[in-house]
Copies of this chain bind each other. A is one copy, B any other.
Amino acid sequence: MKPIPKAVISRLPLYVRHLEDLAAEGVRTVSSGAIARSLGLTDAQVRRDLATFGTFGRPGIGYPVAELGDALRAILGLDRTWQVALVGYGNLGRALLAYGGFPRKAFRIVAVFDTDPAKIGRKAGDLVVEDGRSLAGRVRRLHVPMAILAVPAAAAQEAAWQLVRAGVRGILNFAPVRLEVPDPVVVDNIDFAVSLKQLSFHVRARGGEKMHGSEPRP
Protein backbone atom coordinates (compact mmCIF):
# COMPACT_ATOMS: atom_id res chain seq x y z
CA MET A 1 0.00 0.00 0.00
CA LYS A 2 1.07 3.58 -0.59
CA PRO A 3 2.76 5.41 2.27
CA ILE A 4 0.19 8.19 2.98
CA PRO A 5 1.82 11.65 2.98
CA LYS A 6 2.20 13.41 6.30
CA ALA A 7 0.18 16.36 5.13
CA VAL A 8 -2.73 14.10 4.33
CA ILE A 9 -2.65 12.44 7.74
CA SER A 10 -2.79 15.83 9.41
CA ARG A 11 -6.01 16.60 7.55
CA LEU A 12 -7.67 13.22 7.94
CA PRO A 13 -9.23 13.99 11.32
CA LEU A 14 -10.78 17.11 9.84
CA TYR A 15 -12.38 15.13 7.04
CA VAL A 16 -13.71 12.62 9.53
CA ARG A 17 -15.23 15.28 11.71
CA HIS A 18 -16.82 17.07 8.81
CA LEU A 19 -18.22 13.86 7.38
CA GLU A 20 -19.73 13.05 10.76
CA ASP A 21 -21.34 16.48 10.89
CA LEU A 22 -22.77 15.94 7.42
CA ALA A 23 -24.02 12.50 8.30
CA ALA A 24 -25.73 13.94 11.37
CA GLU A 25 -27.50 16.41 9.10
CA GLY A 26 -28.68 13.59 6.92
CA VAL A 27 -26.51 14.50 3.94
CA ARG A 28 -25.86 11.44 1.79
CA THR A 29 -23.37 12.73 -0.70
CA VAL A 30 -20.92 15.61 -0.88
CA SER A 31 -18.59 17.12 -3.46
CA SER A 32 -14.92 17.94 -3.08
CA GLY A 33 -15.76 21.60 -3.55
CA ALA A 34 -18.26 21.61 -0.70
CA ILE A 35 -15.84 19.87 1.65
CA ALA A 36 -13.11 22.27 0.62
CA ARG A 37 -15.24 25.30 1.43
CA SER A 38 -16.13 24.00 4.86
CA LEU A 39 -12.59 23.13 5.75
CA GLY A 40 -10.74 26.00 4.15
CA LEU A 41 -9.02 23.90 1.51
CA THR A 42 -9.19 23.72 -2.27
CA ASP A 43 -11.28 21.24 -4.18
CA ALA A 44 -8.25 19.81 -5.93
CA GLN A 45 -6.56 19.23 -2.61
CA VAL A 46 -9.56 17.40 -1.25
CA ARG A 47 -9.72 15.15 -4.28
CA ARG A 48 -6.01 14.37 -4.08
CA ASP A 49 -6.24 13.61 -0.40
CA LEU A 50 -9.20 11.31 -0.75
CA ALA A 51 -7.78 9.58 -3.80
CA THR A 52 -4.94 8.41 -1.55
CA PHE A 53 -7.22 5.81 -0.04
CA GLY A 54 -8.99 4.53 -3.08
CA THR A 55 -11.77 5.50 -5.40
CA PHE A 56 -14.71 6.75 -3.42
CA GLY A 57 -16.07 9.55 -5.53
CA ARG A 58 -18.48 9.28 -8.41
CA PRO A 59 -18.16 11.87 -11.18
CA GLY A 60 -21.16 14.16 -11.30
CA ILE A 61 -22.29 12.96 -7.87
CA GLY A 62 -19.57 13.38 -5.29
CA TYR A 63 -18.52 11.26 -2.33
CA PRO A 64 -20.81 9.01 -0.28
CA VAL A 65 -20.74 10.55 3.18
CA ALA A 66 -21.31 7.43 5.26
CA GLU A 67 -19.05 5.11 3.32
CA LEU A 68 -16.21 7.57 3.08
CA GLY A 69 -16.49 8.38 6.76
CA ASP A 70 -16.27 4.71 7.68
CA ALA A 71 -13.25 4.22 5.48
CA LEU A 72 -11.39 7.18 6.92
CA ARG A 73 -12.27 6.22 10.47
CA ALA A 74 -10.87 2.78 9.84
CA ILE A 75 -7.68 4.25 8.48
CA LEU A 76 -7.29 6.41 11.57
CA GLY A 77 -7.97 3.45 13.79
CA LEU A 78 -11.21 4.87 15.10
CA ASP A 79 -13.13 1.68 14.42
CA ARG A 80 -12.10 0.37 17.81
CA THR A 81 -11.94 1.76 21.32
CA TRP A 82 -8.61 3.02 22.58
CA GLN A 83 -8.06 2.89 26.29
CA VAL A 84 -6.25 5.99 27.43
CA ALA A 85 -4.42 6.85 30.64
CA LEU A 86 -4.54 10.42 31.88
CA VAL A 87 -1.38 11.42 33.70
CA GLY A 88 -1.62 14.59 35.74
CA TYR A 89 -4.85 15.77 37.35
CA GLY A 90 -4.29 19.47 37.72
CA ASN A 91 -6.47 22.08 36.08
CA LEU A 92 -5.66 20.84 32.63
CA GLY A 93 -6.11 17.19 33.48
CA ARG A 94 -9.53 17.94 34.94
CA ALA A 95 -10.49 19.90 31.88
CA LEU A 96 -9.40 17.09 29.61
CA LEU A 97 -11.27 14.46 31.58
CA ALA A 98 -14.43 16.54 31.39
CA TYR A 99 -13.83 17.55 27.79
CA GLY A 100 -16.78 16.63 25.64
CA GLY A 101 -14.99 16.88 22.33
CA PHE A 102 -13.34 13.48 22.21
CA PRO A 103 -15.10 10.83 20.20
CA ARG A 104 -16.46 8.84 23.09
CA LYS A 105 -16.56 5.52 21.32
CA ALA A 106 -13.03 5.71 20.04
CA PHE A 107 -11.26 6.97 23.15
CA ARG A 108 -11.95 6.10 26.74
CA ILE A 109 -9.96 7.35 29.69
CA VAL A 110 -9.60 4.35 31.96
CA ALA A 111 -7.17 5.58 34.59
CA VAL A 112 -6.05 8.87 36.10
CA PHE A 113 -2.75 9.41 37.89
CA ASP A 114 -1.21 12.16 39.95
CA THR A 115 1.64 12.34 42.42
CA ASP A 116 0.06 14.95 44.69
CA PRO A 117 -1.02 13.13 47.88
CA ALA A 118 -3.87 15.60 48.26
CA LYS A 119 -5.32 14.43 44.96
CA ILE A 120 -4.75 10.70 45.22
CA GLY A 121 -7.94 8.89 46.11
CA ARG A 122 -10.21 11.72 45.10
CA LYS A 123 -12.93 11.08 42.60
CA ALA A 124 -12.31 12.04 39.01
CA GLY A 125 -15.48 11.63 37.03
CA ASP A 126 -16.35 7.99 37.57
CA LEU A 127 -12.73 7.12 38.24
CA VAL A 128 -10.46 7.63 41.21
CA VAL A 129 -7.13 9.41 41.04
CA GLU A 130 -4.38 6.85 41.51
CA ASP A 131 -0.90 7.24 42.90
CA GLY A 132 1.58 8.14 40.18
CA ARG A 133 3.99 5.60 41.62
CA SER A 134 1.67 2.81 40.63
CA LEU A 135 1.45 4.10 37.09
CA ALA A 136 3.83 1.66 35.45
CA GLY A 137 2.24 -1.41 36.97
CA ARG A 138 -1.34 -0.34 36.40
CA VAL A 139 -0.80 0.81 32.84
CA ARG A 140 0.93 -2.40 31.93
CA ARG A 141 -1.74 -4.53 33.56
CA LEU A 142 -4.53 -2.67 31.80
CA HIS A 143 -2.72 -2.86 28.46
CA VAL A 144 -3.29 0.82 27.88
CA PRO A 145 -1.79 1.78 24.50
CA MET A 146 -2.05 5.58 24.71
CA ALA A 147 -1.64 8.26 27.33
CA ILE A 148 -2.40 11.92 27.75
CA LEU A 149 0.39 13.69 29.58
CA ALA A 150 -0.77 16.77 31.45
CA VAL A 151 1.90 17.23 34.09
CA PRO A 152 4.27 20.15 34.70
CA ALA A 153 7.17 20.43 32.29
CA ALA A 154 9.67 19.36 34.93
CA ALA A 155 7.88 16.06 35.50
CA ALA A 156 7.04 15.24 31.91
CA GLN A 157 10.13 13.36 30.76
CA GLU A 158 10.18 11.11 33.81
CA ALA A 159 6.49 10.32 33.39
CA ALA A 160 7.04 9.63 29.71
CA TRP A 161 9.73 7.10 30.49
CA GLN A 162 7.45 5.32 32.92
CA LEU A 163 4.72 5.22 30.33
CA VAL A 164 7.06 3.84 27.73
CA ARG A 165 8.33 1.17 30.09
CA ALA A 166 4.75 0.24 30.81
CA GLY A 167 4.18 -0.44 27.13
CA VAL A 168 2.45 2.76 26.02
CA ARG A 169 2.87 3.38 22.30
CA GLY A 170 1.52 6.87 21.87
CA ILE A 171 1.64 9.98 24.06
CA LEU A 172 -0.33 13.17 23.67
CA ASN A 173 1.94 15.62 25.42
CA PHE A 174 0.72 18.92 26.80
CA ALA A 175 3.93 19.79 28.61
CA PRO A 176 6.08 22.39 26.88
CA VAL A 177 9.08 20.13 26.43
CA ARG A 178 10.38 17.85 23.72
CA LEU A 179 10.04 14.30 25.03
CA GLU A 180 12.71 11.75 24.27
CA VAL A 181 11.18 8.38 23.61
CA PRO A 182 12.41 5.21 21.92
CA ASP A 183 11.66 4.74 18.31
CA PRO A 184 8.37 2.86 18.16
CA VAL A 185 6.66 5.31 20.50
CA VAL A 186 4.88 8.26 18.95
CA VAL A 187 4.53 11.65 20.59
CA ASP A 188 2.12 14.35 19.55
CA ASN A 189 2.61 17.73 21.17
CA ILE A 190 0.04 20.35 22.03
CA ASP A 191 1.66 23.48 23.37
CA PHE A 192 -0.60 26.40 24.13
CA ALA A 193 2.24 28.84 24.40
CA VAL A 194 3.59 27.88 21.01
CA SER A 195 0.21 28.48 19.43
CA LEU A 196 -0.23 31.82 21.15
CA LYS A 197 3.19 32.94 20.01
CA GLN A 198 2.40 32.05 16.43
CA LEU A 199 -0.79 33.99 16.72
CA SER A 200 1.04 37.01 18.01
CA PHE A 201 3.35 36.85 15.02
CA HIS A 202 0.49 36.79 12.57
CA VAL A 203 -1.44 39.53 14.30
CA ARG A 204 1.61 41.73 14.40
CA ALA A 205 2.46 40.99 10.80
CA ARG A 206 -0.96 42.08 9.61
CA GLY A 207 -0.39 45.80 9.62
CA GLY A 208 0.54 46.21 13.26
CA GLU A 209 -1.06 48.32 15.94
CA LYS A 210 -2.48 51.26 14.09
CA MET A 211 -5.85 49.75 13.37
CA HIS A 212 -8.42 48.64 15.81
CA GLY A 213 -11.81 48.45 14.27
CA SER A 214 -10.80 50.00 11.06
CA GLU A 215 -9.24 49.86 7.70
CA PRO A 216 -8.41 46.99 5.40
CA ARG A 217 -5.16 45.75 4.01
CA PRO A 218 -3.84 46.76 0.58
**Interface of A toward B, CB cutoff 8 Å:** 9-10, 12-14, 16-17, 38-40, 75-78, 80, 82, 84, 90-92, 94-96, 98-103, 106-107, 140, 143, 145-146, 148, 152-153, 165-167, 169-172, 176, 178, 183-184, 186, 188, 190-204, 206-207, 209, 211-217
Contact = CB atoms under 8 A, between A and B. Distances in A.
B203 A186 contact: yes
Contacts of A38: 178
A33 B190 CA distance: 24
Contacts of A14: 194
A190 B190 contact: yes
Given A153-B101, A184-B217, A198-B10, A77 B204 contact: yes
Give the 9 A-B CB pairs with smallest separation, nearest first: A77-B204, A95-B95, A170-B203, A13-B197, A91-B95, A167-B213, A186-B202, A167-B212, A13-B194
B17 A193 contact: yes
Q: Count this chain's copies in the assembly.
A: 2
A58 B202 CA distance: 29
A91 B82 contact: no
Of A14, A153, A170, A211, the most chain B CB neighbours within 10 A belong to A170
